[in-house]
Amino acid sequence: MTKRNPMADFIAAAEEQFDYLTNTRGFFGPERRPDGLAYHSPSLEVDVLFDPREESVVTLVQAMVEDRHLRAELSCLYAEAGLGPVQDIKRAARTGHTLQRSMASQSEALKRLLPVLTGPTKDKLLKICHAR
């Protein structure tokens, strides 16, 4: 029986699910980090992170707003933008199946959110969700 490597599984799933950021949305990356991947654009940073202790994944969005560096969780931004409830975004990564489901839900939520984050409400949303 092969032992599961959760971080390797996460990296593979994240690169697959978020490749549209570099292929069609003008982001650079992915940059590999000890806890996940980072994608960069001139105005945003998207971090897709894995917590091995909790066996969960989370996507964070970062940007400069005025003179502050703000960081917010995707689920808060998604809900505050009126795109759907926080529960639409899955986080569990205890099995390969739940990891794939969570990565797909976070990727889809970010696809829907990106047009909002390039518009005039970006700063307001980041301020509301920062450090929540």
pLDDT in tens, 56-81: 999 999 999 999 999 999 999 999 99
In whole angstroms, how far apart are CA 106 and each of 48, 59, 67, 92, 111?
9, 7, 28, 11, 9
- Distance CA(88)–CA(93), nearest Å, equals 15
Profile the chain (132 residues) by mean pLDDT over runs of 10 residues: 80 96 96 96 96 95 94 97 96 95 98 94 94 74
The bridge status of strand 68-73 relative to strand 56-65 is antiparallel
Q: Model's pTM, two decimal places?
A: 0.94
pLDDT score, position 113: 97
4 secondary structure, DSSP code: P
pLDDT in tens, 24-36: 999 999 999 999 9
Domain spans of the chain, in order of start = 6-129
Q: Which residue has the tokens 């829907």?
A: 112
